[in-house]
Amino acid sequence: MSFLTLANISKTFGATVAVADFNLNIEKGEFVSFLGPSGCGKTTTLRMIAGFEMPSTGIITLDDMDITYQPPNQRNVGMVFQAYALFPNMTVAQNIGFGLQVRKTPPAEIQKRVEEMLALIHLEEFASRYPYQMSGGQQQRVALARALAIQPRVLLLDEPLSALDAKIRVELRLEIRRIQQTLGITTVYVTHDQEEALSLSDRVVVMSRGHMEQVGTPYEIYNYPTTEFVASFVGQLNLLPIANLDRTARSCTLAGQPVHFEHSTDRPISDTPRLAIRPEEFWLGDGQGRNLLRGRVETLIFLGAIIRVRVDIGDGVLISADLFNARSLNLPRVGDEVLVSFPVHACWLI
Amino acid sequence: MKAPAPSARRHVQTLWSWLWIVLGVLYFVVPLIATFDFSLRAKKDVLTFLAYGRIFTDAAFWRTFSFSLQMAFFAIVVSILLVVPTAYWIRLKLPRLRPMVEFVSMLPFVVPAIVLVFGLIRVFSGPPFRLTNTFAGTNVLLVAGYVVLALPYTYRAVDTGLGAIDVRTLTEAAQSLGAGWGTIMFKIIFPNLRVAILSGAFLTLATVIGEYTLATFIVGNKAFGPYMSLIGQNRTYESSSLAIISFLLTWAFMGLIQIFNRGRAEGHLAGAR
């Protein structure tokens, strides 16, 4: 049996369904992220694991024990919040030692553990500081150390990096993964940031409107999205209207231009199918497989490492192509006629 | 007609501001200076602190003052124990009830103290809670009355303090670390409301020390308020000196609130480097 199991979990607030029919098994030591937009139910699910919300239906088991209705202070689950939630009246050392003090751990043992935790987050010299004397990133590290000090069975992180600036976010993201792997602690991470989820997790659960859309490794989620929502939420995606669909020949037309695809027949397709292609699959010029489209460059958007070229291929259909900003890149100008190619295996029908 | 230059307009505005400030200061300070001056004229043609000396050597002054201090102390303790958990629970679990509780906490401003005291005497002079027959009973009743009277100050101060901290997240953080409600209240909530509680306590103290209506009808001349009134009726200069003393006491309490608040603000600024 899995270490953490959520079976048939649902949660309603009055007439609003926050989470519906949620089933997930998490193995010991696994890092799982709940990814989705605001209001998709990811935080509610996390709060049910923490014990701050009770499920309307379903069972949560942790290490073979039913914890569905167990009070949060008896679950031995560590939690890190978006707003840090350090106790303002306590120093860093007191914050980290709080959980151990509650458990009536001997003072010498508390001190030893606090020192270990401070070393883990590289903040040894900050032990006697108060939270308001530290930056947001430092406070969140302390919050992480405080949650880990009690040696929780599961670590829960509720958008812990959302309040931090971009550079600190990336640094702390790596730090969280390093600590998680060092300790081998089972971790559930809530985020609306796809980059965070993809870079941190062993598995990602994509959620929308209270439902699980897809569960898989970051590679599977990005490269083989099973629903339109996942395909468009995770990464950039061109969703293009098609005509003259021939399922047998696996071909169609896109703005009057022929396109071939390698669409797996076991994937469901909507009644009004559209062609899905990631922007990075395009290539300017002839040379990337069977599909070749002719169009006119409408805009060029510089995104640093990437240049996004928007090409009008006729009938008002615009495609976005991402090109690596290499010095050797022969960049077209706005208004230029261009050829855009992409391999047949790079597109699929939704 | 040509409009006045911006600098001239600013000059006129400054003059008006100063005029209103001076008028305001005079309105508040002149009666105090007059009272203070009068309190120094216990001897003909000499300015003397004689009236103050008589007050400080009067045993009744110390007796009533210490009694009122004790009553204030108990009122503060009961208020804190009653208001802090209530305001905390309302913020945490019943936020929809907040407007109603705020309204109830304001009632002592609306209901006159005389109505409150007659209500208390009527209810607590018979069974099941016969409190007006014993000294201890009347003291309990007086403290209870003071708790009600101070409710607008204590509730507002505590509620504002709770608004300044993220009550829900701090509570959940403590719970996830294994803390029960008692630990959360006494190790997280109370320490983080220190300034708010002190503000409420000093306001309660300032209110209770000079309170007249409840004290007169419940405990008679044992309290400081009725003592001040009695002095006012019988001893002219001493009553003025007592008025000044009570003003100084109130200001001292307000000053203490400011000192505690300033200490906290400076601490945070120091940390913002």
This model of the complex carries an ipTM of 0.84
Among chain B residues, the shortest Cα distance to A102 is held by: B179
- Main-chain phi, psi angles of B271, to 5 degrees: -80, -15
Per-residue tokens: B23:
């008028």
Domain boundary among A194, A209, A232: A232
pLDDT value for B232: 84
pLDDT value for B76: 94
Sheet with A251-254, strands from edge to edge, namely A243-246, A251-254, A257-260
Instruction: Name chain A contacts of B270, Cβ cutoff 8 Å.
Output: 133
Residues A212 and A334 both lie in one domain: no
With a cut of 60, say whether residue B265 has pLDDT above it: no
Residues A337 and A289 both lie in one domain: yes
**Number of structural domains chain A divides into:** 2
Residue B189 CA to residue B180 CA, distance in Å, equals: 12
Per-residue tokens: A243:
């005509």
pLDDT value for B273: 28
pLDDT value for B1: 53
Residue B80: band (very low, low, confident or very high) from pLDDT cuts 50, 70, 90: very high
Tokens 């291929």 correspond to A313
With a cut of 80, say whether residue A266 has pLDDT above it: no
Contacts of B41 (CB under 8 A, 6+ apart): B47, B48, B237
* Residue range(s) defining the domain that contains residue A158: 4-232
Residues A199 and A331 both lie in one domain: no
CATH number, position A163:
3.40.50.300
Q: Give the three-state DSSP class for A192.
A: coil
Contact call for A72 and B175, based on CB within 8 A: yes
Mean pLDDT confidence for A37-64: 94
Residues A15 and A123 both lie in one domain: yes
Residues A38 and A175 both lie in one domain: yes
Residues A278 and A184 both lie in one domain: no
Residues A255 and A139 both lie in one domain: no
pLDDT value for B184: 95
- Homologous superfamily of B50-262: MetI-like (1.10.3720.10)
Structural domain boundaries in chain B: 50-262
Residues A176 and A317 both lie in one domain: no
The reply to whether A88 touches chain B by the CB within 8 Å rule is: yes
The reply to whether B266 touches chain A by the CB within 8 Å rule is: no
Residues A13 and A135 both lie in one domain: yes
In A111-150, the residues whose Cβ lies within 8 Å of chain B are 130, 132-134, 143, 146-147, 150
Contact call for A76 and B178, based on CB within 8 A: yes
Helices and strands counted in chain A (H then E): 8, 21
Residues A224 and A148 both lie in one domain: yes
Residues A245 and A194 both lie in one domain: no
Residues A23 and A128 both lie in one domain: yes
Residue A91 CA to residue A143 CA, distance in Å, equals: 12
The reply to whether B254 touches chain A by the CB within 8 Å rule is: no
Domain boundary among A232, A248, A271: A232
Find out whether A331 and A283 touch, Cβ atoms under 8 Å: no
Could you tell me the pTM of the whole model?
A: 0.80
Find out whether A33 and A200 touch, Cβ atoms under 8 Å: yes
CATH number, position A252:
2.40.50.100
Establish, for the pair of chains A and B, how many residue pairs have beta carbons separated by less than 8 Å: 77
Domain boundary among A176, A206, A232: A232
> Which amino acid, A200?
L
